[in-house]
């Protein structure tokens, strides 16, 4: 009999192979290719995940958890600089996850919406933890801020990653990812740690306008 540990190891091996194959060939990559990569039969994929959608969900959850752990270590920890440098040292490990997320964004659909919503919910939590730790400034609308930051990150990837070929070159992706990080880190850290605008007049004007709009009585309609 197979042990629970064996099943877990097989499941993880299939999931990791699927992330790589989906990143390389897109989300419609044949299950038989994933099975061959993992050294299992296509029937075993069905046994562990039930369907292609079940396999995709497992990949989504794993990628989302990796992103959550990465962001939490950098944003909400007093040791954030050390955590950031440690992650930069192994940036090539994140390349397949970046490729997978890109494929999800290209494909769109309900599952991608669910994945992005999950990333936003995670961002709300690790930013909230950062506020508690004193490493992040509080927000008037934490969810809106988390969604904007997620949109910025995913939109930047989608605009910058090479998308002209049907097959994504995962061997070249780590170097691309390293170059991309080197290009964006200085302006991103500068933007997040030093205010872009030298005063708050635009924010103050917006808040005043929003407050006035809320305080105005609703127009009465003539019967």
* Amino acid 115: pLDDT: 94
Q: pLDDT truncated to tens, each residue of the chain (223 aa)?
A: 455 666 789 999 999 999 999 998 999 999 999 999 999 999 999 999 999 999 999 999 999 998 888 888 777 666 556 556 556 656 677 778 888 998 999 899 999 999 999 999 999 999 999 899 888 999 999 999 999 999 998 998 888 876 555 667 777 877 887 888 888 889 988 988 898 999 999 999 999 998 888 887 655 555 4
pTM over 0.95: no
Cβ contacts of residue 193 below 8 Å, gap of 6+?
none
* Amino acid 171: pLDDT: 78
Query: Measured between alpha carbons, how far is 54 from 118 in angstroms, rounded to an integer?
Result: 17
CB 96 within 8 A of CB 19: yes
């Amino acid at each position: 009999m197979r042990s629970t540990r064996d099943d877990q190891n097989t499941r993880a091996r299939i999931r990791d192979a699927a992330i790589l194959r989906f990143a390389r060939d897109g989300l419609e990559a044949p299950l038989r290719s994933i099975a061959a990569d993992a050294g299992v039969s296509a029937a075993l994929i069905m046994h562990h995940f039930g369907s292609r959608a079940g396999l995709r969900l497992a990949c989504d959850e794993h990628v989302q958890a990796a992103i959550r752990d990465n962001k939490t270590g950098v944003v909400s920890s007093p040791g954030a600089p050390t955590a950031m440098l440690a992650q930069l040292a192994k940036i090539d490990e994140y390349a397949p996850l970046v490729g997978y997320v890109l494929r999800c964004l290209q494909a769109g659909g309900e599952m991608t919406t669910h994945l992005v919503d999950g990333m936003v919910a995670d961002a709300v939590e690790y930013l909230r933890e950062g506020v508690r730790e004193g490493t992040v400034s509080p927000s008037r609308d934490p969810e809106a801020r988390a969604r904007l930051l997620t949109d910025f990150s995913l939109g930047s990837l989608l605009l910058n990653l090479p998308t002209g070929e049907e097959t994504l070159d995962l061997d070249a992706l780590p170097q691309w990812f390293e170059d991309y990080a080197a290009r964006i880190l200085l302006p991103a850290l500068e933007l997040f740690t030093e205010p872009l605008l030298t005063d708050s007049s635009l924010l103050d004007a917006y808040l005043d306008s929003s407050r006035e709009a809320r305080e105005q009585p609703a127009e009465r309609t003539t019967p």
